[in-house]
Structure 1
């Protein structure tokens, strides 16, 4: 397993309301980079997790457990939400699906 893909675990804090303008400020996004093995999710796993075939589903495998809380994962320019995760003895596996770049 080659952990050659950079993945970014994102924590999103919603922007606060600005009374002077009547708008909300931009969301604050904090990222933490990890290297992972990223592959397309297999058909058997998709049927288990989603009950059907889902386009754009990826499997992210880390060598060590990721213990911090996060809202989503960024791979390249695409954002993903975690649909399933499993902690093995030392490895951590996430099955993710792509989401729009707006608020989750």
Structure 2
């Protein structure tokens, strides 16, 4: 448990930083990250917020970095693979993450 605690502390700070930057991409402040502190509802709410599409125009936090619109024709021309996840795949991954989260929680309480 001590190792797990140390690892979780090591992941919390970068995780919060990434979440705040992602919310800045949406044009929001970083304060909604604190929603994650609400039991059962907070973490899924923050994950949903972070899954929203970002803004391609500048906002109060600055210009977006690395925004380049590529059409399907351009992607085909340069040999890129369309790796856009389908909706069933996304839902399946979310379900797997929730099940793993509940399983780890159950294992820690047993």
Q: TM-score range by the shorter chain?
A: under 0.3
Higher relative contact order (CA 8 A, sep 6+): 1
Greater helix share, structure number: 2
Asked which structure has the greater CA Rg, the reply is 2
TM value normalised by structure 1:
0.18
> Which one has a larger percent strand, Structure 1 or Structure 2?
1
